[in-house]
Amino acid sequence: MGLFFPMDDDHLPPGRKKGFARYREVLGRDFKQFYLTNLLALASFIPLGLGIGYAVLSSSVLVLIPVSLIGGMIAGQGLAAMYDLILRRMRDTMDDWWVAFKKSLRQNWRAALLPGALEGLFLGFLVFAGAMIWWGGTLTIGTALILCASVVIFCMIFSIWWPQVVLFEQSTVIRLKNCALFILQNFPQVLGAAALQGGFWLLMFLLLPWSGFAVPVLGVWYILFLAVFLLYDRLNESFRIEEQIGQKFPEQIPTYDDETEE
């Protein structure tokens, strides 16, 4: 549990920390806020989970499509709020988590509908296909590789799409273009973050039902935080996140001891 609490930072220079020290700093400082927002995000996934479960049990694609789209739109609101809080804390904005959650719902609900619907549809078909393959006993190495590759590609795209949803007012075309360019320019890093997410969810699936006990604790927040943490510096460099937000909302960009002393 030491990874979730701050270390003794007296020996470190003032200002924003780097690497593992930064990881422990953010987790130790913001774990409670991530956890509380995570519970609300998990609640937003309940309609999607129930809908997909019913579609799988009834073996009906006609049911799967609408429940995945509608459930995904609802779940997208929770995901947007989760990404929004993580990105706020990564740039050290210290507003109240509940205020940030409500602000995210108010500002991002329209932009979150499309990626939420697409994510819900992807997850619906992934679970449906997995259940059919499992029950049919037709899983092959080739099929498993195709499923794994599709999950990694999906995670690569949405790891870049969601931050844009909560940070900028853009058209879908611009967001997709930015996703493609960012992935091409930072392919190893994005691939690594996506593979980490895919591996996390695969492990959670393989360890069912025991992994279900970890859902209230880890939920969606930890793996999303880890992916954003690994990509944040490159996202900030490419999209000028802190520069643009600092120009529009200067109160959201903190100053550090070493900067104020100068």
8 inside domain: no
pLDDT, residue 2, reads 45
Percent share of the chain, pLDDT over 90: 66
Nearest CA to 71 among 63, 59, 82, 83? 63
Q: Confidence band (pLDDT; 50, 70, 90) for 255? A: low
CB neighbours of residue 241 within 10 Å: 19
Which residues are within 8 A (CB) of 205 and not within 5 positions of it... i.e. 6 or more apart? Answer: 211
Residue 233 lies in a domain: yes
pLDDT tens digits along 89-110: 999 988 899 999 999 999 999 9
Question: What does the DSSP assignment read for 120-175?
Answer: HHHHHHHHHHHHHHHHHT---HHHHHHHHHHHHHHHHHHHHHHHHHHH----HHHH
Whether 126 is in a domain gets the answer yes
- In the prediction, which pLDDT does 252 show? 64
Q: How many structural domains are present in the chain?
A: 1
Q: Which has the higher per-residue pLDDT, 42 or 204?
A: 42
Residue 217 in domain: yes
Is residue 133 domain-resident?
Answer: yes
Q: Please report the sign of the dihedral spanned by the C-alpha atoms of residue 200, residue 36, residue 164, residue 189.
A: negative
* pLDDT at position 33: 94
The pTM of the full predicted model, rounded to 2 decimals, is 0.89
Q: Let me know if residue 61 belongs to a domain.
A: yes
- Whether 179 is covered by a domain: the verdict is yes
In a domain, 77, yes or no: yes
Task: Look up the domain containing 106 and give its range.
Answer: 20-240
pLDDT in tens, 232-246: 999 999 999 988 887
